[in-house]
Amino acid sequence: MATIGELLKAGTARLRESGSESARLDAELLLAWSIGAERTALIAHPEAPVGDGGMAVFEAALVRREAGEPVAYIRGVKEFHGLALAVDRRALIPRPETELLVSEAEGQVAWRLTSAPRPAGTPELRVVDVGTGSGAIAIALASLLRKRRMLGEVSILAVDFSAEALALARENAVSHAVADAVTFAQADLLPAAEAPFDLILANLPYIPSREVDSLPIAASFEPRLALDGGNDGLSIVRRLVDALPEALLPSGVALLETGFDQGPAIERVVAELPGAWTCRIQADLSGTPRLAHVERVSTARRSRTG
């Protein structure tokens, strides 16, 4: 009977040879999942034996990972903003960098709810998550606002073109007890009948078509529809920006995740909108340009959340 330490050593070597850039972490996550333990327990008890059942599950998981399948799909779960979300091939795997968008959205909502009196009868803040995929952004935001007792004053709409992705998002909303707070709709970008919104959130496909096939092999297991942003990567983002004059309330803000080098191009797209608009590009914690804040110039000074 092999021990945890022996299985991790052998698994790490196999995954490193197959091309994994995080072979040790992958092996730890897969072994922990295979035997139903926490990853920290593996690290603390490398001498513990692993039964035949756990070894068989781990072996099957290694074979899938050696073929390039993402660890998140093998385990069926991905951690995002403190939540464990179900993931599979119906939707893109949530990325850690997208947590910035959720944090900024939370700040925007909190500022709007607390910066001025809200007498009885004040309409709810209207938020839409465009291209929701697994529902990560909408569900994480709803969970955060519920903890702050603000969710009752906010309506959240999650939209996706893919019916399969929406089914996964609904499952995650139920799992995290926010199915009563998030409405789901199938549409190409924004349902016209639902606009306008106070806050538009979007992590849309932004990889140029010519680069999709050269992404790490793990990306080939994800829906191409969720990655391919057209010739320059901004085809879908550009369509959403073009819709902002009608889709965004006069005092509203759009938060759009972008590629690291796409800030100047998005600024040019925003500059072509009718009226006066501003586009501010925010970097993530690594210093990488990540998030575009788009709003009308007349409200830009008032909507800063710090």
* Radius of gyration for the alpha carbons in the chain, expressed in angstroms and rounded: 21
Same domain for 228 and 185? yes
State residue 160's pLDDT score.
97
CATH number for the domain spanning 132: value is: 3.40.50.150
State residue 306's pLDDT score.
44
pLDDT tens profile 14-44:
999 999 999 999 999 999 999 999 999 999 9
- Residue 80 resides in a domain: no
pLDDT at residue 300 greater than cutoff 70: no
pLDDT at residue 305 greater than cutoff 80: no
pLDDT tens profile 51-70:
999 999 999 999 999 999 99
pLDDT at residue 290 greater than cutoff 80: yes
- Are 180 and 151 contacting, i.e. CB atoms less than 8 angstroms apart? no
Residue numbers of the domain that contains 126: 90-300
* DSSP calls for 100-122: HHHHHHHHHHHHHHHSS---TTP
Same domain for 13 and 99? no
Same domain for 176 and 115? yes
pLDDT at residue 8 greater than cutoff 60: yes
Residue 226, exposed/middle/buried by CB under 10 A (0-12, 13-18, 19+)?
A: buried
* CA-based max dimension of the chain: 71
> How much is the mean pLDDT over the chain?
95
Above pLDDT 70, what percent of the chain?
A: 97
pLDDT tens profile 101-126:
999 999 999 999 999 898 988 999 99
